[in-house]
Structure 1
Amino acid sequence: MTFKLLTVTLNPAIDINYPIKDFEINTVQRATEDFKSAGGKGINVARVASELGLPVTCTGIIGGKFGEWLTHNLDETHIKHDFTVSPASTRLCIAINSEGSQTEILESGALQPEEIQTRFLEHFNTIVSNYNLVTISGSLPKGFPEDYYIKLLEIAHAQDIPVCLDTSGQVLNYTVTHSKHCPPLLIKPNDEEIKAITSSDSINLANQLLDDSLAHIPYILLSLGKNGALLRIKEEVYNIDIPKIVAVNPVGSGDSSLAGFSYGLSKNESFESAAKFAMAAGMANALEARTGHVDLDNFNKFSNQIIIEKVAKTS
């Protein structure tokens, strides 16, 4: 049976990237080129997963002329989609890259009508069983309650479909704390978010990942930027060492990592190998000017250069 991935982006966007060599504030800046694409974290996941050869479908909520542009862009790149359409317009997100720095202007998005919350839950419940894996990525739209991802996890759990969750801040904290009855397969926090969830006083990140408050989540991938990552597999923590690169555009690298992880799972690889694919995809994305894009040669090269070593386990 063909492995199929569903990516959920409740608050998608049109991503606009301007590479400007000598960017300055308070002056007129002219961009000699620009890159526009369907965006939002889950859509970045889908784009990279598609490039890696995974059958993938995007779902979420879109609206207005920007929503129409977003779906047309996905059509042009041959990525399937099955969105809930809202009267609230899809947002814009702008990134300016200059001399190794990055400035982002991110619209929060329009307030979604309450009926859209119910309509998307019904839609998700109808389609989720058609897929082998779901990724839920990004922020909640305005007006959505902080327990909304719990509702999605409950639906997926009831149909025995695993979910990888990549969100942040209070929504991540709430979802992890309240998901013991419907845990995600994987979360992808940063070090500050782990501290907030566990309230741990340990300075050792590996020990924080082994905290009892996270025990119901089988896998945790914690990015350390240029220093690689930590991967917790149930009762054990592994350090992931990556080769050094000079990033061109890091936007979307975390999303690309989730696509790489999904790719590994689709190949029935071990979770250690899936983590290698995750890091390789994130690094390959960082070398591209376009957001959510990988060169397969770089992906394959990095996959063979990543080293994983066990650093901790529960006593």
Structure 2
Amino acid sequence: MILTVTLNAALDVTYEVPGVAWDGVNRVSGVHRRAGGKGVNVARVLTAFGQDVLVTGLAGGPTGQAVEADLEAAGLPHALVRIAGDSRTTLVVSDPGTATLFNEPGPVVTPEEFARLVRHFTVLLDSAEAVVLSGSLPRGVPLDAYATLAAIAAERGVPAIVDADGEPLRHAPGGRPSIVKPNAEELARAVPGGGPEEGAQALRGRGAEAVVVSMGAEGLLAVTPEGTFRARMPYKVEGNPTGAGDSLVAGLALGLVRRSPWPERLSRAAALGAAAVAAPVAGDFDRQVYDDIRPQIVID
């Protein structure tokens, strides 16, 4: 089982529009509402590959109840920790070729609620082959939360992947995760100066076993104990990039539990990221695009 952790769970709302008039009236051609947050999106992709998953994290209030109801409707096993605050809603406005994301900050989490999450997480690790720690942190959660959780997993021999930004990303390597997965902009903020490879090496120097940097249509850079790899994409996929990083992380998680060689891990992850761009909603991916693009990805 792969355990995914979403500390800032959300109800994701996606509006599809033929073209946005930001100073006028817009008619929405399609609406999607579903449980979200990066770990939930990862779990959806893993389930599509037949992988056993368990979704955990923090959820509360009416929005948290809606998140739980959607997880149940989707057949995604979950063990969320209830909190007093109301979970957030996110909004994506998607028109052809672009997507604009509005993220609410999320609820305020008390120290007692976070301590309960840590205890709960520790118990769930007994059945986990790998853990994914991803997404923003709600207010009140310590900025080193992912480092704390990754360290607990490492002590129990469970490999962890961290996908975060800002201070949570800067702290994450201290927990000795198996993989840290920033995109190029997140990496530049965490390690100012130098290029992606230098930044990735710096995060490895702080404790991460491997660092995989997503670079959109330019593919992936992976700095690992077995060397440095580049995954080069054969063409650019147009669409909604929201959730592409989550699909990519799902591919890396599959590689961890299947003990795949790095070139295989990276080709699967890069193909899933591209295929997610072709899907209208985060957590989905276009299987035809995945099957077409994966064999064409070049690993150096």
Same fold (TM over 0.5): yes
> Separation in 2 of the partners of 1:51 and 1:141?
28
Q: Which runs of 4+ in 1 moved over 6 A?
A: none
Partner of 1:55: 52
Q: TM-score, normalised by structure 2?
A: 0.94
Instruction: Kindly indicate whether the alpha-carbon contact (under 8 Å) linking 2:144 and 2:167 is maintained by their aligned counterparts in 1.
Output: no
Partner of 1:242: 233
Shift of residue 199 of structure 1?
4.8
Shift of residue 43 of structure 1?
0.4
Choose the corresponding residue for 2:200, options 197, 204, 209.
209
Q: Aligned to 2:187, what secondary structure does the other structure show?
A: helix
1:262–1:213: structure 2 CA closer, same or farther, 3 Å change rule? Answer: closer
In the alignment, does 2:269 pair up with 1:278?
yes
Shift of residue 197 of structure 1?
4.2
Gapped regions of structure 1 (runs ≥ 5): 310-315
For 1:1-315, what aligned pairs fall within 5 Å after superposition? 4-176=1-173, 179=174, 182-200=175-193, 202=194, 204-211=195-202, 214=205, 216-234=207-225, 236-309=227-300
Shift of residue 192 of structure 1?
4.1
Task: Read off the aligned partner of 2:154 and give its amino acid letter.
Answer: H
Task: Read off the aligned partner of 1:67 and give its amino acid letter.
Answer: G
Question: Greater CA deviation, 16-25 or 290-299?
Answer: 290-299
Task: Read off the aligned partner of 2:58 and give its amino acid letter.
Answer: I
Question: Greater CA deviation, 186-195 or 6-15?
Answer: 186-195
> Separation in 1 of the partners of 2:286 and 2:185?
31
Shift of residue 288 of structure 1?
0.8
Task: Read off the aligned partner of 2:225 and give its amino acid letter.
Answer: K
> Separation in 2 of the partners of 1:99 and 1:212?
36
Instruction: Kindly indicate whether the alpha-carbon contact (under 8 Å) linking 2:110 and 2:141 is maintained by their aligned counterparts in 1.
Output: no
Shift of residue 235 of structure 1?
5.8
Shift of residue 164 of structure 1?
0.2
| 1:237-273 CA-partner distances (Å, limit 9, x unpaired) | 1111012133221110000001111122333311221
Task: Read off the aligned partner of 2:98 and give its amino acid letter.
Answer: S
Aligned residues: 300
Shift of residue 13 of structure 1?
0.4
Shift of residue 174 of structure 1?
2.3
Instruction: Kindly indicate whether the alpha-carbon contact (under 8 Å) linking 1:197 and 1:213 is maintained by their aligned counterparts in 2.
Output: no
Q: Aligned to 1:239, what secondary structure does the other structure show?
A: strand
